[in-house]
Structure 1
Amino acid sequence: MTRASALFLIDSSAWRWVPLLAALLLGGCSTLDYYAQLARGQLELLRARQPVEALLADPATAAALRERLALALQARRFASAALGLPDNRSYRLYADVQRPYVLWNLFATAEFSVEPELHCFPVAGCVAYRGYYRQGRARGAAALLRHQGLDTYIGGVEAYSTLGWFDDPLLNTMLAWSDERLVAVIFHELAHQQLYVADDTAFNESFASFVEYEGLRQWRAARGLAAVNAQSEQQRAQFTELVLASRERLRALYARDLPAPAMRTAKQAEFERLRRDYRTLRERQWGGVGRYDAWIEGPLNNAKLLPFGLYDRWVPAFARLFGEVGGDWPAFYRRVALLGELSPEKRSEALQALAAAGQNRSSAPAVQP
């Protein structure tokens, strides 16, 4: 059997589940055409996978690719050995999808709302987007939604997790990142395989983000590297706060009983305020460094604000929980799993208590092991 044919036999018994699982895991609409493109995209990804170790052993592998894959494999081993994350073949495989993003997510809101149009499925629960493996299809779907009067935003996705249903590969879309970001995203995506709670995106993403941040800190310490650039993290947090404040002002605006023309004028005024606030922050505190210039100067609408806050909201709560178990990863995951079993209301209360305890360092644990 040739090497190429052997590679294509990986997980062949699982391929019969592709049409169903791709639809469930990646979000979608009610049309068979949409499900079909998800199935085709996931199947193409599965077929493109190659074992990283085989590529590293192949003299024909380009030096630059070999270097990136070697780093990723080291991070992958560290993830399971040091962070207690799932020990499987995910991110021990590589796939070149021949494009800059593996898929494109389409977000949508009503014209006068900051709440997402949700799409719900048995495995992933309700998510705030629809995924497309071809940018043209995402743009076409967005045009149809705009024709219905909705705000839309398309964001390219460089990596995603199938929550353990498949062995997720490293992608060419990931390898241009800095060492730090490549390692961090491997930790983040494996955290989704460790634990995922349906219908609670903020919980899932905040949990994975904490694992990413703490995992990266431990990775750098183990390798004798300096701590992560605090200034970069502070700027990201400050920008997120600006966007979230704008979103809350829009929420209050849309709750008012105004005629549509007046509402549109006020809406655009809020986006201009967001741009002014950003420019002020950039000039007064960042020394003119414009990390987010392209984003802020591009078209702004409700849908473009949706992703903000999902990845960070409960990170302080998870940091507090990690401290309560003395930095023991298995114990931490057990405590997080207990949180996941709570009702949405009780879970939110527990997370709020943990976050508050992290601020004053005096409260009792919110969830008992």
Structure 2
Amino acid sequence: MKRGTLKRTLAVALAAALGLAGCADLGYYWQSVSGHLQMLNAARPVDEWLNDTQASGQLKDRLALSQRIRSFAVSELKLPDNPSYRRYADLRRSAVVWNVVAAPEFSLTLKTWCFPVTGCVGYRGYFSEAEARAEADRLKAQGLETSVYGVPAYSTLGWMNWAGGDPLLNTFIGYPEGELARLIFHELAHQVVYAKDDTMFNESFATAVERMGSQRWLDSEAAHGNDKARQDYLQFDGRRRQFRALALATRLELTAVYGKKPATDAEKAEQAAMKAQALQRFREGYAALKASWGGFAGYDPWVARANNAAFGAQAAYDELVPGFEALFEREGRDWQRFYDAVKSLASLPKDERRKALENHTTEDLAQARKTGFK
């Protein structure tokens, strides 16, 4: 096949994979297709990197670790055995894409963008940070609160496995061992189940898989009994859980402030004052957490941009995780049975699947956490 024909074929496939085939915004369409093509072209099989005399020993060690994690994902977590994460690309930048999220002044409900294949999602991704920030500025001019954040990896849901799959990237290959495992498990989980038009369901499911899977990895012989990696992960994950608990408390407080009905003009001033107080309590709570962490400042950038858009985006990643954890416990901690149960939920209408997850009892969760997700 001629190179031009191949590129056109890839572009068509990518349009489907990225959900852009019917997008009226051709500029956005082409930046997405060309950005993904550049990433695919930069990727080479891990074995080539391992045999490359120009590659650093540190990179080779990380790539070898990634392949042990990848094999573990298949053998122990029953995640897909396909070409994804068996190639590596150095993009020479800090993120693969930059996501833009937006929400109204008095709501945590994210603005959505809809595409033919992936459905409606609460973010819009750009391969250029400048373009992402330009989009955020346009949304701000419409009166929305916005947040722009770099993303180390994204999933094409298995659509591009025929072309080599989703690659390992420099944007995350240097993560601590537990975090590297967590990310690979998260992205592979998206290839197991995907419910159209339900970002919260999809991201919470993948987050549940990453949490349970990464702990199982660190406790396994495959991790070579790496006590330091285990302790580093426990410390980092402990801080993450504390931060997310603080953010959840703030989300609940803001939700109560905003209420279920749009505020009248007379009510908006009072809402604005209560919102400012809630955000101030959030910042004070974060300062207290930082002090207890010995000054660890990893969440400073998030706190700096904390607004309705940022809180709304975070909710998608953890709101339904307890329900998925309880479901895993109910399915006897059997990964395949768990995935089959999640697929059944994904086939339900959105409101029904949400209710089914939220109705898992606190007793289920208490038992699961008592015995551990392994």
State whether TM-score is above 0.5.
Answer: yes
Segments of 5+ residues of structure 1 without an aligned counterpart are: 1-7, 363-369
Structure 2 Cα separation of the partners of residues 200 and 84 of structure 1: 23
Q: 2:117 aligns with which of 120, 123, 135?
A: 123
Structure 2 Cα separation of the partners of residues 360 and 263 of structure 1: 36
Structure 2 Cα separation of the partners of residues 246 and 37 of structure 1: 36
- Pairwise CA RMSD of aligned residues? 2.7
Query: Quick check: 2:186–2:209 contact (8 Å CA) kept in 1?
Result: yes
Tell me which moved more, 43-52 or 351-360: 351-360
Q: 2:10 aligns with which of 1, 11, 15?
A: 15
Change (3 A) 1:71 1:305: same
Deviation digits for residues 193-219 of structure 1, max 9, x if unmatched? 111111222221222122212222222
- Give runs of aligned pairs for residues 169-188 of structure 1, distance below 5 A: 169-188=167-186
Q: 1:32 aligns with which of 26, 31, 37?
A: 26
Deviation digits for residues 130-187 of structure 1, max 9, x if unmatched? 0000001011111111112111100100011100011000011112211111121111
Is 1:71 the equivalent of 2:75?
A: no
Is 1:82 the equivalent of 2:88?
A: no
RCO comparison, higher one (Cα < 8 Å, 6+) = 2
Instruction: Give the match for residue 314 of structure 2.
Output: 308
TM-score (ref. length: structure 1): 0.86
Instruction: Give the match for residue 236 of structure 1.
Output: 240
Is 1:293 the equivalent of 2:300?
A: yes
How much has 1:230 moved relative to structure 2?
A: 4.1
Identity among equivalent positions (%) equals: 41
Structure 2 Cα separation of the partners of residues 152 and 64 of structure 1: 38
SS at match of 1:359: helix
Structure 2 Cα separation of the partners of residues 136 and 100 of structure 1: 14
Instruction: Give the match for residue 325 of structure 2.
Output: 319
Change (3 A) 1:355 1:157: farther
SS at match of 2:332: coil
SS at match of 1:84: coil
Tell me which moved more, 178-187 or 98-107: 178-187
Change (3 A) 1:345 1:273: same
Letter aligned with residue 94 of structure 1: Y
Query: Quick check: 2:329–2:364 contact (8 Å CA) kept in 1?
Result: no
SS at match of 1:177: coil
Instruction: Give the match for residue 145 of structure 1.
Output: 139
Structure 1 Cα separation of the partners of residues 235 and 48 of structure 2: 39
SS at match of 1:161: coil
How much has 1:117 moved relative to structure 2?
A: 0.5
Query: Quick check: 1:19–1:36 contact (8 Å CA) kept in 2?
Result: no
How much has 1:234 moved relative to structure 2?
A: 3.4
- Give runs of aligned pairs for residues 1-369 of structure 1, distance below 5 A: 15-21=10-16, 23-24=18-19, 30-166=24-160, 167-223=165-221, 224-226=225-227, 227=230, 229-255=233-259, 256-259=263-266, 260-283=268-291, 286=293, 289-296=296-303, 298-359=304-365
SS at match of 1:310: helix
Segments of 5+ residues of structure 2 without an aligned counterpart are: 369-374
Tell me which moved more, 321-330 or 39-48: 321-330
Structure 2 Cα separation of the partners of residues 178 and 83 of structure 1: 20
Residue-pair matches, total: 351
